[in-house]
Amino acid sequence: MAKKNYTKDKLRYSDRELQMFKKLILEKLEKSKRDFEQLVSSVNNTGGNDTEDTAPTFNVLEEGASALSKEEAGQLALRQQKFIRSLEAALIRIENKTYGICRETGKLIPKERLLSVPHATLSIEAKGR
């Protein structure tokens, strides 16, 4: 008798598996929120390492580099905020027991993919389309 592929035959992940994913997501969420706060802090200059404290002595290059780094930090903060929202949405899907189900194909997303990208809502197959 041929062994069936467990992932293809399942409709959803077990409660035990969902709790494992939830733990992983909560860890990523905690780190992401810390990273976000650091980025916001650098954009808002709450760290105090800017040219403002040396007002008349800064040069144009320092000012330009500072503006560029603040712009980059702002972009990274926006991306981090989006990532946090995606992780929070994944937690809701866990509570609804719909976590890990591809939103296009309705099939279960392989566990390996979810371990790498825990907020994924598409299987590799659907993402490739």
pLDDT at position 87? 98
- The reply to whether the predicted model has a pTM over 0.85 is no
72 lies in which domain range? 6-127
Q: What type of residue sits at position 93?
A: R
In a domain, 1, yes or no: no
In a domain, 99, yes or no: yes
Residue 101 phi, psi dihedral angles, 5° rounding: -100, 125
How many separate domains does the chain show? 1
pLDDT at position 15? 96
Take residue 82 and report the two structure tokens written for it: 């989006």
pLDDT in tens, 24-53: 999 999 999 999 999 888 888 755 555 555
CA separation (Å) from 115 to 67, 68, 74, 126? 37, 34, 28, 18
In a domain, 111, yes or no: yes
Angstrom distance (rounded) from CA 86 to CA 88: 5
Could you identify the residue written with the tokens 């992983």?
Answer: 24
Task: Tell me which residue of 86, 84, 87, 88 sits closest to 39, measured CA to CA.
Answer: 84
pLDDT at position 121? 96
pLDDT at position 128? 86
DSSP 12: S
Q: Are 52 and 45 in contact, with CB atoms under 8 Å apart?
A: yes
Greatest CA separation for the chain = 81
CATH code of the domain covering residue 47: 1.20.120.910
Question: Which residues of the chain fall below pLDDT 50?
Answer: 1-7, 57, 60-61
Helix (H, G, I), strand (E, B) or coil at 5: coil
pLDDT at position 1? 43
